[in-house]
């Protein structure tokens, strides 16, 4: 009986230690990537087919983000939608069409949907703010000399994903890859982070590539400029003023 109690105590300590390690890693990741505000210029290329460049769509976008779920973006290219602005606040989105001068409140909710279509294989959930610690229950799956492999189960039951798997570089706590899994499709997408560079005082992955394995398409995002934790214009997050 006594031996059994000791064994249980050891197991509880070990599991606590294990959970802490995964959590600690995720916290370190959050620390290095979290910012109160960010301003970025990016180039996004959506490849409808992995096999070739047929039908590739290229967008040049400027974006401003603050807190976890507020973002503003404006299209600079292609020419047809130059000046189109999108404001996201929580689950609500507004679009300003420079072609008509109107502001419309667009897609109300679905996180699964591609970012106003533009995001290609990036959904709102993928780009959403929030910390990994808050959004996922984590567990360390594997540890090698160079990497941590961490599983994250979304806390939100409405999440489009059943689990995520993070590949994190040990030395620097850079995220190198995220696998996205769903109940229906299984291993659905891979997000690769490449070319880590210091921009705006923060080290970020200059290049990201999301590959949709199910639909055999991919989206590339190249960060051209970046600034973090600077002051942002309040007007940009006001639905009645963001387009002026």
Binding site residues, other proteins, CB under 8 A: 48-52, 54-57, 59, 78-84, 95, 97-100, 102, 104-109, 113-114, 116-118, 215-217
Distance CA 125, CA 147 (A): 25
46: left (phi over 0), alpha (psi -120 to 50) or beta: beta
User: Which residue's CB is nearer to other proteins, number 67 or number 99?
Assistant: 99
User: Which residue's CB is nearer to other proteins, number 59 or number 242?
Assistant: 59
Shortest distance, position 125 Cβ to other proteins, whole Å: 16
User: Which residue's CB is nearer to other proteins, number 78 or number 230?
Assistant: 78
User: Which residue's CB is nearer to other proteins, number 97 or number 196?
Assistant: 97
- 11 exposure class (CB count in 10 Å sphere: 0-12, 13-18, 19+): exposed
Shortest distance, position 70 Cβ to other proteins, whole Å: 20
Complete DSSP assignment for 175-225: EEEEEEEETTTEEEEEEEEEEEEEETTEEEEEEEEEEETTTTEEEEEEEEE
Shortest distance, position 124 Cβ to other proteins, whole Å: 13
User: Which residue's CB is nearer to other proteins, number 56 or number 127?
Assistant: 56
Shortest distance, position 178 Cβ to other proteins, whole Å: 23
User: Which residue's CB is nearer to other proteins, number 17 or number 51?
Assistant: 51
The Cα diameter of the chain in Å comes to 78
* Secondary element (H or E) of residue 236: none
Shortest distance, position 3 Cβ to other proteins, whole Å: 56
180 contact partners, CB below 8 Å, separation of at least 6: 126, 161, 164, 187, 188, 189, 190, 191
Shortest distance, position 120 Cβ to other proteins, whole Å: 9
């Amino acid at each position: 009986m006594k031996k059994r109690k000791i064994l249980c105590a050891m197991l509880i300590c070990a599991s606590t230690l294990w959970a802490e390690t995964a959590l600690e890693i995720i916290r370190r990741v959050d620390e290095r990537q979290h910012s109160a505000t960010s301003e970025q210029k990016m180039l996004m290329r959506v490849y409808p087919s992995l096999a070739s460049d047929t039908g590739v769509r290229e967008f040049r976008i400027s974006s401003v983000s603050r807190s976890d779920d507020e973002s503003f973006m404006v299209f600079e290219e292609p020419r047809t939608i130059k000046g189109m602005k999108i404001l996201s606040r929580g689950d609500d989105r507004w679009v300003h069409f420079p072609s008509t001068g109107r502001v419309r409140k667009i897609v109300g909710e679905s996180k699964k949907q591609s970012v106003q279509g533009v995001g290609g294989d990036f959904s709102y959930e993928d780009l959403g703010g929030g910390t990994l610690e808050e959004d996922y229950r984590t567990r360390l799956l594997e540890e090698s000399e160079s990497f941590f492999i961490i599983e994250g189960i979304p806390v939100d039951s409405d999440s489009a994903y059943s689990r995520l798997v993070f590949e994190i570089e040990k030395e620097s706590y850079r995220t190198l890859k995220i696998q996205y899994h769903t109940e229906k499709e299984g291993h659905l997408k891979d997000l690769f982070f490449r070319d880590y560079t210091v921009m705006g005082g923060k080290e970020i992955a200059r290049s990201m590539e999301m590959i949709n394995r199910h639909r055999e398409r991919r989206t590339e995002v190249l960060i051209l400029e970046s600034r973090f934790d600077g002051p942002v214009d309040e007007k940009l997050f006001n639905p009645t003023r963001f387009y002026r």
